[in-house]
Amino acid sequence: MPELRKDPVVGRWVVFSPERQIRPERYVCEELPPTKPEDNPFLEGHEAYTPPEIYAIRPNGSAPNGPGWQLRVIPNRYPALRVEGNLDKEAVGFYDRMNGVGAHEVIVETPHPQLVLEQQTLPGVVRVLQAWRARMIDLSRDIRLHYALVFKNHGARAGATMPHPHSQLIAMPVTPIVVKEKLAAARAYFIEKDRNLFEDILKSERTSGERVVFENDGFTAFCPFASRFPFETCLMPRRQSPDFQTASDGELLLLAEGIQRVLSTYASVLDQPSYNLILQTAPFRRSRHPDAWSTIDSDYRWHIEILPRLTGVAGFEFGTGVYINPTLPEDAANILREGMTHG
């Protein structure tokens, strides 16, 4: 059974999942070799090599766990957290722990082993976003779960161990520290100014324009003022909502366009970099904190972060939380805008 433990100093939770140790190596530093078809459980016709599917898009109504799908969601074979069991929150002497109850799912974005997200058709990208939304809505009904993170590790340097295009979802019984910090900052800002922090960021970016990379009717993509990584991009919806799950099909189409434009520009300008894509959305469970988060509908906004992994994370970053970035976001945005025009 995986286990969650809390750091007694900074309050950070760590997931201990000894079963993942059987993987030869989670983080391969070399370029990923293309998986031999016989070793790729994500291929069409290989459905028997994965756990039974949780969700799938099967336009011709084919039967579950067989061929005929455009997208499949399956449990991770080496899950960081498990659906079964009780939380059993407890003190261990001086420390705090609980069982690693949660979910760890893999969204297989396409049956095609080399069709990376930005090369999919626009409806193909929309399908991926719809799967994220469907899984979030379903998992939010499990009262043991407080938060779900959707993310995509693309390329060896970003932690991917399978080249077949996929994203992941991990749902947890705690609200993680990064989310708590953002919620607390958004709330403090709202209380002080009676304005939404993310709306103010968006306004500031759209007014100056120097860090804006792309815009359509629903979303603005920009390189954040204090980007941690060169060419880091944030995709922010212009409609206020704390929850990604509230995005309409129309909004997902606009978001899909934004993601596709940013990723295809990365691929051409940065020579197909490794990247992490992260969906930041509000926790499922918040009604129990009426004092703390009562204004969450007005003060927090979901958004997407895309982090190209051209630079590393080393002693300085771990010791300080400060990042060293050699590329100003104004320069990065300029290069990305140019690449987009000529792409």
Closest CA to 77 of 175, 161, 200: 161
Minimum distance, C-beta of residue 254 to its own copies, in the bound complex (Å): 22
- Contact in structure between 164 and 112 (CB atoms under 8 Å): no
Query: Burial of 35 by CB count in 10 Å (0-12 exposed, 13-18 middle, 19+ buried)?
Result: middle
- Reference 152, options 61, 42, 279; nearest CA is 279
Q: Kindly state the smallest distance separating residue 157's Cβ from its own copies, in Å.
A: 6
CA distance 335 to 262: 12
Token pair for 209: 């324009």
Q: Which residue has the tokens 């982090």?
A: 307
Which one, 122 or 188, has the nearer CB to its own copies?
188
Phi, psi of 94 (to 5 degrees): -75, -20
CB of 198 to its own copies, least distance (A): 8
Query: Catalytic pick from 104, 146, 154, 166?
Result: 166
Of 172 and 296, nearer to its own copies (C-beta) is 172
Task: Look up 166 and say whether it is catalytic.
Answer: yes
Closest by Cα among 177, 2, 158 to 78:
2
Q: Of 122 and 185, which has the nearer Cβ to its own copies?
A: 185
Q: Is the Cβ of residue 6 or residue 285 nearer to its own copies in the bound state?
A: 6
| 63/240 Cα distance (integer angstroms) | 39
> Under DSSP, is residue 90 helix (H, G, I), strand (E, B) or coil?
strand
Q: Min. distance of Cβ 326 from its own copies in angstroms? A: 4
What span, in angstroms and rounded, lies between the C-alpha atoms of 218 and 236?
A: 9
**Which residue's CB is nearer to its own copies, number 3 or number 44?**
3
- For the chain, the C-alpha Rg in angstroms (whole number) is 20
Minimum distance from residue 232 beta carbon to its own copies (Å)? 10
By annotation, the residues acting in catalysis are 166
